[in-house]
Chain A
Amino acid sequence: MQADHGHHHDHSHEQSTLSEMDLRVRALETLLTQKGYLDPAAVDRIIETYEVHVGPHNGAKVVARAWVDPAFRDWLLQDATAAIASMDYTGRQGEHMVAVPNTPETHHMVVCTLCSCYPWPVLGLPPVWYKSAAYRSRAVIEPRAVLADFGLSLPAEKQIRVWDSTAEVRYLVLPERPTGTEGWS
């Protein structure tokens, strides 16, 4: 895992940028509220939704169900939008879902090279690394090396398929069920 910086930060510049952003966002929210375009309570509810209710815990439940319920797994692979919607995980940035299953032959990865498209209803807001230039640029040209940055080393004969989310279709990788979990609920 790449946890340390390989280059110097101008920390004073970074701090002043962040306090500038703090002022800027406060000023913008004040302005929009005064104009009557924005209801701050709506803003609060949006934030709360993605801090508390919508996150990767939703996707984990989808994956776990696919692991224990073969009929659900088939449905998920056939019509992920409907299968996921049946668990009430629908909505913004998840209107059109496709589940892609990892197999012994193929490992799947998802990226949005053009911006940061991510399946919010099942995975929540994307992490910083997913939105970074390093991931967006490298995932499509050297996916194996990118997986190594995550500490994952795949066998040489394994295929890697990278899905670039250029439209409103959102991809959910269905990992292989871990060995030794037979009989788990």
Chain B
Amino acid sequence: MNGVHDMGGLQGYGPVMIEANEPLFHGEWERRALGITVAMGASGLWNIDLARSARESLPPLDYVQGPYYAIWIQALQKLLLERGLITPQELAQGQALTPPVAGVRVLKAAEVDAALAKGSPADRPSTCAPRFAVGQRVRALNLNPQGHTRLPRYVRGHVGTVVLHHGSHVLPDQHVKQMLPPFDGTAEHLYTVVFEGAELWGPQAEAGSQVCVDAWESYLEAVPSP
């Protein structure tokens, strides 16, 4: 979706503010927010793409204001409510009022290390040959889906060169189509495409700058070599 989360190239956000000796968390609530969100992610009732989609589709003003972990909590609440895991009344009261939904996988303390070490690999066996090759010129398509995508607006319509091919990875645009498992695990060939700064930003581009994005095959089309 063309949301406020798609920030590449926006102006007016000011200088990058760096905090000396920045602590990992700026409050107990941030620690718990991280832990709760990661633990509930193991429930199996959504996937990382649905989680990202929930965050980026929060009300724009909430998203921009943050703070960062507030976005995580707000999105987690949305994911839980959407699936009936909690009710609005329970959320307001901070108390369980109804029986839990069955079939929710609960991550136990003894399982955490293995779960974090395993992660969630996104690569899948390729089911077809790649359309593009390293070194090939490609154009990012001007796609503007309402749903979740990982093609940032600032590259759409621009021509770049494939620098890496990563095999096939789960396509986020499809992975969010089902709210509950089984999820659509359609995978496509994934490429890293480099764009010259001048191609993306015109005369305002910094000299000698380039930007790479990771783009799935359906985000791209071939461009004839000059």
Contact = CB atoms under 8 A, between A and B. Distances in A.
A168 B29 contact: no
B128 interface: no
Given A2-B17, A6-B14, A43-B39, A114 B116 contact: no
Contact of B34 (A50, A140, A159): A50
Interface of B: prevailing SS: mixed
Contact of A164 (B19, B104, B152, B206): B152
B108 A166 contact: no
Interface string A147-170: 001100000111111111111110
B210 A25 contact: no
B116 A133 contact: no
Interface in B1-58: 5-11, 13-20, 22, 24, 26-29, 31-36, 38-40, 43, 52, 55-56
A134 B38 CA distance: 26
B123 interface: yes
A38 B27 contact: no
Given A129-B18, A142-B206, A114 B122 contact: no
Interface residues of A, number: 85
B195 to A, nearest CB: 9
Contact of B7 (A27, A47, A137): A137
Contacts of B190: 167, 169
B179 interface: no
A18 B25 CA distance: 13
Contacts of A133: 7, 10, 13, 64
Contact of B112 (A17, A27, A49): A49
Interface residues on B, range: 35 or more
Nearest to A108: B212
A91 B119 contact: yes
Nearest to B77: A28
Contact of A2 (B16, B67, B69, B76): B16
A138 B122 CA distance: 28
Interface string A121-141: 000110111011111111011
A43 B10 contact: no
Interface stretch (A29-37, A58-66, A67-75): A29-37
A131 B5 CA distance: 11
B96 A115 contact: no
Nearest to A165: B214
A147 to B, nearest CB: 10
A54 to B, nearest CB: 8
Nearest to B4: A133
Nearest to B190: A167
B152 A114 contact: yes
Given A31-B90, A135-B16, A38 B116 contact: no
B70 interface: yes
25 contacts: A24-B29, A25-B36, A29-B36, A32-B86, A37-B43, A39-B39, A42-B39, A42-B109, A47-B32, A91-B117, A91-B118, A92-B118, A128-B17, A129-B19, A132-B17, A136-B8, A141-B206, A143-B209, A150-B16, A150-B18, A160-B210, A161-B209, A163-B212, A169-B192, A169-B214
Interface of B: 5-11, 13-20, 22, 24, 26-29, 31-36, 38-40, 43, 52, 55-56, 64, 67-70, 73, 76-77, 80, 85-86, 90-91, 93-96, 100, 104, 106-109, 111-113, 115-123, 150-152, 154, 164, 166, 169, 190, 192, 194, 197, 200-201, 204-216
Interface of A: 1-3, 5-7, 17-18, 21-22, 24-32, 34-39, 41-47, 49-51, 54, 90-96, 98, 111, 113-116, 124-125, 127-129, 131-138, 140-146, 149-150, 156-169
**Pairs A-B, 9 closest by C-beta atoms:** A27-B94, A113-B8, A43-B35, A167-B214, A41-B109, A34-B96, A137-B10, A168-B122, A45-B112
